[in-house]
Chains A and B, each alone.
Chain A
Amino acid sequence: MSKATQTGYAGSFIPHTEAERAEMLRTIGAAEVSQLFAGIPAKARYPKLNLPEPLTEMEVRGEMESIAAANDSTYDLVSFLGAGAYSHYIPSGVDSILRRGEYYTAYTPYQPEISQGTLQAIFEYQSLIVALTGMEVSNASHYDGATALAEAVNMARVIQRGARKKVILSPGLHPQYRATVHTYEHGSDIQLLGEDLGLSAGPEALIELIDEDTSLVAVAYPDFFGRIYDYTALAEAVHAKGALLAVSVNPTALGLLRPPGEFGADIVTGEGQPLGIPLSFGGPYLGILATRQEYVRSLAGRLVGETLDNRGQRGYVLTLSTREQHIKREKASSNICTNQGLMMLAATVYTSLLGKQGLRQVAESCYHKAHYAAGQIGKLTGFSLPFAETPFFHEFVIKGPLPAAELNRRLLERGIIGGYALGEDYPGLEDCNLLAVTEVNSKEEIDFLIESLKEVTRA
């Protein structure tokens, strides 16, 4: 292992020569750098760190390649795993923009005169999310789909000034999103209801839980099991009691399905990963958070608005920052300080490149392929589709003759990443798998899955 000792110091990316360092110290009036740290208690100064010896770029690339090669990813195998993170084709143009240093090495656009690139991209992102969701305002993005839902719960509390204490979570919301809400709300006076409802019950079952103390009802669209419900009646019931409706969306599905703004959603949250963001083992992803104009002042996160500069040119700035922590400190509605800037940019470029026709085409392709796969699996001996009576998008549940984890293990021996085994999150569904099929899955892959399911369950 070699040290980069060119400048007399280990470590990379430090440009100082010995002569420059000496001259700088003279200017400062210090004999050596360590004098600058004299304020640190001596016993805690210069600890010995147990870290690997440093590598050069050439060495580190080899090392990282070998660690990455220890993964068997969806790049190497056929995959039908979704459950909140989806394989989609990402056009080359998306990453070509993301790798521009002008974007990825800038920070939050505090200085609008020299940040119009980021600011206008955010403004366009906000516009695209408004168009997709049918809402009126989108923020500049949130961490991910789970935290966006947790912020929706918080937002409802802010809008209603804490007067209502019940939040109804549909059991069809992603289990990890619900877990995140539980973490955020631990110790608060909010009561979380609804998660133990039967999975076959539709939105009607949620309606029965709504009362005058209900703050928010949150549902997924499509839900965790891929099902598409019409939430119009639910929205009416929610509003009749003065509560708010949050809808957690998959943006690919919105290429095809009615936008939540049309059936009465007050807050739309969602996971934006399907919009041009790689799986990347779960992150960084993109939290979608949109609402109606009347609630804009209760919306968490950055917002970009249009204005004019002092030369009369149209330009963009961060706006309504009086909602935020750096102004309101402990009275802010959220502590969020960043957004998912680069992932927001990926979604913006992806959605622009696909556009009106492309996103619809991808959504339809997912739909057709998933329905072909479901139809074929439904015909297999020993298999059934427990929720097939409800329309679904690109994900569906299969019940097989084996425990789901065992079925997946056998599929893996054939090079197939099966679905998501549901038993751990949903007791009683130990024989059930959630499968996702998208435009990247060819008919050949689907047929291979069908054949493999037959073979691995043959008695």
Chain B
Amino acid sequence: MPELIYDLGAPGRRGVQFPAPDVPLAELPQAHLRRDLPLPEVGELEALRHYTRLSQLNHSILTGFYPLGSCTMKYNPVINEDTARLSGFAYAHPLQPTSMVQGSLAIMYHLQEWLAEITGMAASSLQPAAGAHGELAGVMMIRAYHQQRGDAKRNKILIPDSAHGTNPATSAMSGYRVVEVPSDGRGNVDLAALKAECDDTLAGLMLTNPNTLGLFEEQVVEAIEAVHAAGGLVYGDGANMNALLGVCRPGDLGFDVIHLNLHKTFTTPHGGGGPGSGPVCVAQHLADFLPGPIAGIAQQVSESEAPEYDWVMPQHSIGRLKAFHGQFGMHVRAFTYILMQGAEGLKAVAEHAVLNANYLKARLEGAYKVAYDRPCMHEVVLEGRWADAPDVHALDISKRLMDYGFHPPTNYFPLIVREALMIEPTETEDKATLDAFAEAMLKIAEEAHNEPETLRNAPHTTKFGRMDEVKAARQLVLCCEIRPQSTVNS
């Protein structure tokens, strides 16, 4: 049980020294000064040892297999970390004149172009800070599109029952009524139910493809055509784009807008929960609505010379979604990654992501029920339950996996699968790792029947056991007790 940073240190200790001001001192604004600054007083070694030890309590991609479904926990190349820290990028101020930051604008311009090419779209904006932020951009663009056409009565968005929670939350934030569409027996959006909602109040459909069951929507073209015929637009949630890189472009299927998660598909690090980056790519008829400004070409004198880049505000832009230009450090990382893949490399990514998921499916089916039994894409959804082991739940299986050294899959999602275990191995894991994981899962399936107690009390070998989440929510403690030190400077 590590101490808290506030438990360490001693009065007067400090971790870093700064030079004394080399200018004459000005009078401080006495009326505005704080009496006390209750921050830690720790030494440099003490602080770094503390945060190093804390790090060792994390499971991470660099320390072990992390098949967290829907999150695409693949290897984050370390070269990305170096390129993002090049001084020309790391020390560039976002408000410098564009003539001084042509390198940054070139990165953004080419990444915009490449992401549009990869998704089969006409244009893109890198401004959204995360996937959910990209969704917000997409739904706002759909709204702006209808408004600009004077089509005011469209007030509902269709969302399949397998969708991520961000989809309905985003639609509601944009003032839309959410209508949930059921899934059919093969794990597709129910086409008949979808068509029944396609009327002149339809603003659009939010569709994740492959969907959160890890399945390619078999009637995706028909679904999109039905929405288009009713005058609606189709938003693609690109969370699962790792399955389609170089294999299928959402734009070619008829999607009007899609966001990408650079932190999933394009190997920018997940960072313990962020920063994400959620660029949004659109078909031609939505290009004028993109959040901006975006990077554009001001002029190009000749083919052989680098063009001059500048900021461009799309004509009917929904506006600015955050300060400055998006998560630029993540743009550099994604740019680096795409440069190392090329078209063939990206295709290989999708193929091996799908190969790995189907391999795990083949190794585990039988011992586990596959929620929808047809070839999966980049992830497979199993049911973590057995009729003859009624006391064992997906949660227990997840916790037991930790004893075998693995991060659990996503569990209890999608909501339409009972005791769901959503497993996404990604393309960067080798066969030996998949086999070890499969062996652990098979062993756990046996344990579920023979010694269910072992599962229900798991994990056993980790440094921490199951947490009392009810206590955390009922007796809220959300920060350290910060000792008042009101004697200082008073």
Contact = CB atoms under 8 A, between A and B. Distances in A.
Nearest to B361: A28
Interface string B53-91: 011111111110010100101111101011111111111
Most buried by A among B55, B136, B220: B55
Interface stretch (A30-38, A211-219, A235-243, A377-385): A30-38
B44 A93 contact: yes
A278 interface: yes
Nearest to B358: A28
A115 interface: yes
Contact of A283 (B29, B129, B135): B129
B349 interface: yes
Nearest to A5: B344
Contact of A327 (B16, B89, B165): B165
Contacts of A10: 341-342, 344-345, 348
Given A16-B430, A143-B130, A49 B56 contact: no
14 contacts: A39-B215, A101-B60, A108-B270, A116-B58, A123-B4, A123-B478, A140-B273, A281-B325, A282-B326, A307-B468, A316-B467, A330-B168, A342-B274, A412-B100
B172 interface: yes
- Majority SS of interface residues in chain B? loop
A263 B242 CA distance: 49
Contact of A342 (B272, B345, B354): B272
Interface in A127-175: 127-128, 130-132, 137-138, 140-141, 143-147, 154, 174
A109 to B, nearest CB: 7
B83 A60 contact: yes
A2 to B, nearest CB: 11
Nearest to A353: B15
Interface string A1-42: 001100001111111100011011101111001111111110
A113 B459 contact: yes
Given A76-B87, A187-B143, 14 more contacts: A3-B344, A10-B341, A13-B77, A14-B348, A64-B335, A97-B55, A123-B480, A182-B319, A183-B318, A183-B320, A335-B166, A337-B131, A337-B165, A352-B15
Nearest to A114: B59
A234 interface: no
B104 A71 contact: yes
B462 to A, nearest CB: 5
B466 interface: yes
B204 interface: no
A367 B140 CA distance: 42
B216 A40 contact: yes
B298 interface: no
Interface in B105-164: 106-107, 114, 117-118, 120, 129-133, 135-136, 140, 143, 147, 164
B201 interface: no
B430 A305 contact: no
A341 B478 contact: no
B321 A73 contact: no
A458 interface: no
Contacts of A114: 57-59, 402, 407, 459, 462, 464
Nearest to B88: A68
Contacts of A314: 1
Given A144-B322, A282-B326, A360 B37 contact: yes
B169 A47 contact: no
A139 B306 CA distance: 44
A105 B269 contact: yes
A184 to B, nearest CB: 8
A303 B39 contact: no
Contact of B169 (A54, A57, A329): A329
A71 B348 contact: no
Most buried by B among A16, A30, A324: A16
Chain A: interface residue count, which band? 35 or more
B275 interface: yes
Contact of A60 (B87, B106, B340, B346): B340
Nearest to A376: B23
Given A85-B324, A120-B57, A355-B42, A11 B275 contact: no
A20 B429 CA distance: 12
Interface stretch (B173-181, B280-288, B446-454): B173-181
Contacts of A34: 351
A54 B91 contact: no
A358 interface: yes
B345 to A, nearest CB: 3
Most buried by B among A44, A95, A96: A44
A107 B29 contact: no
A335 B58 contact: no
A72 B40 CA distance: 37
Contacts of A198: none
A339 B274 contact: yes
Nearest to A64: B83
Given A111-B402, A113-B459, A147-B129, A340 B275 contact: yes
Leading 5 A-B pairs by shortest Cβ distance:
A11-B345, A282-B324, A282-B94, A101-B62, A68-B88
Contacts of B249: 44, 47
Interface string B290-326: 0100000000000000100000000000111111111
A268 interface: no
A345 interface: yes
B182 interface: no
B330 A284 contact: yes
Interface string A42-63: 0111111111111111001101
A349 B19 CA distance: 20
A204 interface: no
Contacts of B248: 37, 40, 44-47
B292 to A, nearest CB: 10
Contacts of A389: none
Contacts of B91: 73-76, 87, 278-279
Nearest to B335: A64
B468 A12 contact: no
A414 B228 CA distance: 57
Contact of A107 (B272, B330, B482): B272
A54 B344 contact: yes
A400 to B, nearest CB: 17
A352 B273 contact: no
A324 B471 CA distance: 19
Nearest to B427: A14
B252 interface: yes
Contact of A14 (B2, B306, B349, B477): B349
A393 B483 CA distance: 27
A359 interface: yes
Nearest to B103: A70
